[in-house]
Amino acid sequence: MGQFFFDKILQNDGWKTNILIATDSNGVITSITESNKINNAQHIKGLAIPGFQNAHSHAFQYAMAGLAEVHNITHTSDDFWSWRDAMYKLALSVNPDQMENIAAMLYAEMLRHGYTNVAEFHYIHHDKNGDHYDNLAEMGSRMIAGAEKAGIGITLVPIFYQKGGFGKDATDGQRRFLSADIDCYLKLLESSEIACRTYQHANIGLGIHSMRGVEPTLIAEIAKSGPQDIPFHIHISEQLKEIDDSIAYLGKRPVEWLLNSIDLNDRFHLVHATHLTKEETKGIASNGANVVICPSTEGNLGDGLFPLRDFQLANGKWSIGTDSHVGLNPLEELRLLDYGQRLITHKRNTFTSESTGNSGEFAINMATQSGRKAMNNFNPHYFAIGQTLNVSIIESNSPLLATCSDNNLASTIIYSADPSQQNGTISNGVYMEKGKCAQYDKITSDFISTLNELKNR
């Protein structure tokens, strides 16, 4: 059990002062009261906001962050597809122990930046030869073990990956990813769900790599006949080549086909969705589906800019993710998302709605609520009895924040704060000073050993 006294905490209806929150042994909130007495509670100094939700992660790619930036100047182009070749080399080399060490380090760093939950879009399932492990979910189990070491909440999304492109067989470089058919994938999903039971803060989602990665008719089939009570994640319309190939193979753009073939709802999370027509943008929003935007990765890969303004005008819902983890700062993700829109629309009111013009509060609300849906958490309240306590704590004594009115606090955090102002993180009811988990030093040592073994840096 725990008790935490917050000097200032953001609730859905605004900032509250002197709030006492009690939790049970699992970090679940049992009471929230106003109090002027700290008594035996842990005093949480700073500005408390909901823990950030990282709705899209490929943990293994953290091991190659920064390594794809030395370019051969004799080449005319270095784009997503050349980056993917480098990513495949890493995917073919990592073993289960190394995967666990990479995941633990990544998740520990997420916590240090204020993330408290992650949706792990996981597709390295098999051994280096492409053969099944005795435990179908061996590699997914290592993701869960890494999350438990760090203390972050994880939604494991084992990915159905079958093809090498529209109408193309998979390549040898994809051999660790593949499930031959729906039955094979559902066995993997079942094994992954069992693995999630080993950690009380783990749960399961369903994932399709992409429309180019799975025969589209099978995507429609599993969307209709597969589990209906867990999130459904899919990469879509990230690259222009993907759209051209889809038109050539299906006669339709990827999202156009999806809207015509699947009954979307708010359990669907379309990752990237960078290149959309106005009709597709409105269609996603009107069906209640969510888009997961990963600005630092999309910028790094040269993907393009999601049409956020049109999507929001249609009441579209979105969350953020760090994908390849070239950046791990949620504030940076939100700023990149907003500033990209300001640059192409020449307007500054990106993060607004009919109910609020406060950009900071809007960004926190959208990223929190839609991000939680990606984790199968539909609780709209930032902090509520019966909900696990997850908090990002920002230093309140920095010059800009120390002088802020409540109306300007959230926006000053979103637009001016940096990682040095992360005063702490509470994940699943466990307080981490400066966001550093209890095993941080051991996790770091194991990670460095793993990278030295991989010799990829």
The pLDDT tens digits of the residues spanning 332-361 come to 999 999 999 999 999 999 999 888 999 999
What pLDDT score was predicted for residue 120?
Answer: 98
- b/e string for 262-278 if b means 16 or more Cβ within 10 A? bebeebbbbbbbbbbee
For 38, residues 6+ apart whose C-beta sits below 8 A from its C-beta are 5
Burial-class residue 261 by CB neighbours within 10 Å (0-12, 13-18, 19+).
Answer: middle
Burial-class residue 434 by CB neighbours within 10 Å (0-12, 13-18, 19+).
Answer: middle
User: Mean per-residue pLDDT for 320-329?
Assistant: 97
- Longest CA pairwise span in the chain (Å): 68
pTM: 0.97
The pLDDT tens digits of the residues spanning 252-288 come to 999 999 999 999 999 999 999 999 999 999 999 999 9
What pLDDT score was predicted for residue 71?
Answer: 74
Question: How sure is the predictor about 433, in pLDDT bands with cuts at 50, 70 and 90?
Answer: very high
- Does residue 79 carry a catalytic annotation? no
The pLDDT tens digits of the residues spanning 366-375 come to 999 999 999 9
CATH architecture for the domain at 52-374: Alpha-Beta Barrel (3.20)
* Alpha-carbon dihedral sign for residues 193, 199, 200, 205: negative
Catalytic residue among 245, 303, 323, 338: 323
Looking at per-residue pLDDT, the higher value among 436 and 71 belongs to 436
The pLDDT tens digits of the residues spanning 140-171 come to 999 999 999 999 999 999 999 999 999 999 99
Catalytic residue among 235, 272, 275, 325: 272
CATH number of 2-50+383-436: 2.30.40.10
What pLDDT score was predicted for residue 73?
Answer: 74
What pLDDT score was predicted for residue 164?
Answer: 96
Assess whether pLDDT exceeds 80 at residue 74: no
What pLDDT score was predicted for residue 82?
Answer: 64
CA distances to 43, 148, 437, 438, 446 from 442, rounded to whole Å, are 27, 14, 10, 9, 6
Say how far residue 201 (Cα) sits from the centre of its chain.
Answer: 16
What pLDDT score was predicted for residue 337?
Answer: 98
What pLDDT score was predicted for residue 85?
Answer: 73
What pLDDT score was predicted for residue 173?
Answer: 92
Domain ranges of the chain: 2-50+383-436, 52-374
The pLDDT tens digits of the residues spanning 379-422 come to 999 999 999 999 999 999 999 999 999 999 999 999 999 999 99
- Does residue 7 carry a catalytic annotation? no
325: left (phi over 0), alpha (psi -120 to 50) or beta: left
Assess whether pLDDT exceeds 90 at residue 247: yes
What pLDDT score was predicted for residue 121?
Answer: 98
What pLDDT score was predicted for residue 315?
Answer: 96
Query: Percent of the chain having pLDDT more than 70?
Result: 98
Cβ count near 438 (within 10 Å): 13
Asked if 64 and 89 count as a contact pair (C-beta separation under 8 A), the reply is: no
Residue-averaged pLDDT of the chain: 96
What pLDDT score was predicted for residue 77?
Answer: 64
Radius of gyration over alpha carbons of the chain, in Å? 21
What pLDDT score was predicted for residue 456?
Answer: 86
User: Mean per-residue pLDDT for 24-43?
Assistant: 96
What pLDDT score was predicted for residue 1?
Answer: 84
What pLDDT score was predicted for residue 145?
Answer: 98
Query: Percent of the chain having pLDDT more than 90?
Result: 93
What pLDDT score was predicted for residue 66?
Answer: 87
